[in-house]
């Protein structure tokens, strides 16, 4: 990751991770019966999750310094793994029961698209 952070901005890496997630959700929705596409989707999962997590920690280090560093990590963990994960799983469960995989992954892709817009507007590199 250190080499990626030297070569690219953290903003670019976050946006890239979101795009990879968007593609992965659409692959899961429409290509689940094809093993090769699902293997590629798993590689995209590893890349998108790893990129986003590393970039998120990088931003925590930038924005929450000193005695506030632990608070920043707590907010990140609670919003991405805690409440965010729980709400996502709950919504995905309902979507799956109403419209199966296509609806659940389609809604996920739409929310990821919104996340891209928010990140595009809200994530900026500190100089």
Q: What is the mean pLDDT of the chain?
A: 89
Q: Given this model, what pLDDT does residue 89 score?
A: 83
Residue 127: inside a domain, yes or no?
no
Q: Considering the domain boundaries, does residue 4 fall inside one?
A: no
Q: Is residue 54 part of a domain?
A: yes
In a domain, 38, yes or no: yes
How many distinct structural domains can be found in the chain?
A: 1
How many CB atoms lie under 10 A from the CB of residue 36?
8
pLDDT of 106 over the 70 cut: yes
pTM here? 0.84
The answer to whether residue 1 is domain-embedded is: no
Q: Which domain holds residue 56?
A: 9-122
- Confidence band of 127 (pLDDT split at 50, 70, 90): low
Instruction: For residue range 49-91, list pLDDT tens digits in order.
Output: 999 999 988 888 888 988 998 888 888 888 777 777 788 888 8
Q: Give the separation between CA 97 and CA 76, rounded to whole angstroms.
A: 30
**8 Å CB contact between 119 and 15:** yes
Sign of CA dihedral 22, 38, 78, 73: negative
Distance from C-alpha of 45 to C-alpha of 29, rounded to nearest angstrom: 14
Contact status, residue 17 vs residue 80, Cβ threshold 8 Å: no
> What is the C-alpha to C-alpha distance for residues 99 and 95, in angstroms, rounded to an integer?
6
State the average pLDDT over residues 11-39.
Answer: 94
């Amino acid at each position: 990751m250190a080499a990626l952070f030297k070569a690219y901005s953290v903003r670019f890496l976050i946006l890239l991770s979101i795009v990879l997630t968007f593609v992965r959700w659409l692959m899961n929705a429409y290509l689940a019966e094809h093993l090769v596409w699902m293997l590629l989707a798993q590689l995209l999962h590893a890349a998108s999750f790893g990129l986003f997590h590393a970039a998120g920690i990088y931003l925590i280090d930038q924005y929450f310094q000193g005695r506030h560093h632990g608070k920043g990590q707590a907010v990140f963990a609670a919003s991405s793994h805690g409440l965010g994960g729980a709400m996502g799983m709950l919504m995905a469960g309902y979507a799956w029961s109403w419209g199966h995989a296509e609806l659940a992954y389609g809604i996920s892709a739409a929310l990821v698209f919104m996340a891209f817009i928010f990140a595009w507007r809200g994530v900026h590199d500190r100089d």
